[in-house]
Structure 1
Amino acid sequence: MKCHVPGPNVKVLARTIHVLARFGDELYVESLADCILLRTLNAAESAYAMVKFNKNFFSYFNYNYYSGDDSEGLKCKISMKSALNTFKSPTHMDKQVENLEIKLDSETCKLIFQLKCKHGIVKTHYVSILDSKAMQAVYTKDLVPNRITSSQRIFTEALGNFQSSDDQVTLEVSTQSLLMRNYVDASVDLYKIIRTQVNIKPSEFESYVVGSDTTITFTLKEFRALLAFAEALSLPLQLHFEVTGKPAVFIVHNGSTFEAHFVLATSKPDTATQATSQTSSRVDKKRKENCNHFNENSAKKPHLDNEISNCLNEDSHLFSSIPEEAFCSERLLVNGSLPHIKDFVGQNIDSEDIPASPTSRIKIKSVFKRCFESTFDPKNLQRVILAENSDSE
Structure 2
Amino acid sequence: CISDLNLKAFKSMLVCLDKFGKDLFLEANNRELTLRTLNTAQSAFVVFSLQSSFFYEYLVESGSTASVKIHLKNLVSIFRSITGVDRVWLQLACSDPDAQAYMRIQLQSQSGVKKKYDLALKEVTPMNAVYSRSGCPHRIVTDPQVMIGCLGNFPHNLPELTLVATTDHLHLKNDSDNLQTEQKEQAGMRTEMTLPVQDLHSCELHHAALRGGELPVTFSLREFKAIIFLLREIDHRMVLHIEGTGKPVIFTSETRSDMPAHFAVE
TM-score range normalised by the length of the shorter chain: 0.7 to 0.9
Letter in 2 for 1:256: A
Structure 2 residue 12 is matched with structure 1 residue 24: no
Deviations 1:210-248 (A, max 9, x none): 113321111101001111111112221111111112110
Match of 2:139 in 1: 147
Q: C-alpha displacement at 1:54, in angstroms?
A: 0.6
CA distance in 1, matches of 2:124, 2:156: 39
CA distance in 2, matches of 1:100, 1:164: 34
Match of 2:224 in 1: 223
Match of 1:260 in 2: 265
Question: Which of 114, 120, 135 is matched with 2:127 structurally?
Answer: 135
Please say if residues 88 and 105 of structure 2, whose CA atoms lie closer than 8 Å, have aligned partners that are also in contact. yes
Structure 2 residue 44 is matched with structure 1 residue 52: no
Instruction: Please list, as runs of the form range in 1=range in 2, the aligned pairs for 1:238-277 lying within 5 A after superposition.
Output: 238-254=239-255, 255-261=260-266
CA distance in 1, matches of 2:90, 2:157: 39
Report the TM-score when normalising by structure 1: 0.60
Match of 1:108 in 2: 100
Match of 1:349 in 2: none
Instruction: Please list, as runs of the form range in 1=range in 2, the aligned pairs for 1:1-393 lying within 5 A after superposition.
Output: 4-64=1-61, 70-89=62-81, 93=82, 95-106=83-94, 107-184=99-176, 185=178, 188=181, 193-211=188-206, 212-213=209-210, 214-254=215-255, 255-261=260-266
Deviations 1:242-299 (A, max 9, x none): 11121101112443211111xxxxxxxxxxxxxxxxxxxxxxxxxxxxxxxxxxxxxx
> Computing the radius of gyration over CA atoms, which structure comes out larger, 1 or 2?
1
Q: C-alpha displacement at 1:134, in angstroms?
A: 2.0
Aligned-residue sequence identity (percent) comes to 25
Distance 1:138 1:105, change over 3 A: same
More strand by share: 2
Q: C-alpha displacement at 1:62, in angstroms?
A: 1.6
Q: C-alpha displacement at 1:190, in angstroms?
A: 11
Aligned length: 249
Distance 1:104 1:162, change over 3 A: same
More helix by share: 1
Q: C-alpha displacement at 1:161, in angstroms?
A: 0.9
RMSD between aligned residues: 1.9
Moved over 3 A (4+): 186-193
Please say if residues 159 and 183 of structure 2, whose CA atoms lie closer than 8 Å, have aligned partners that are also in contact. no
Letter in 2 for 1:38: L
SS of the residue aligned with 1:49? Answer: strand
Q: C-alpha displacement at 1:187, in angstroms?
A: 5.2
Letter in 1 for 2:193: V
CA distance in 1, matches of 2:156, 2:30: 43
Deviations 1:92-112 (A, max 9, x none): x3x511211111224331111
Distance 1:223 1:102, change over 3 A: same
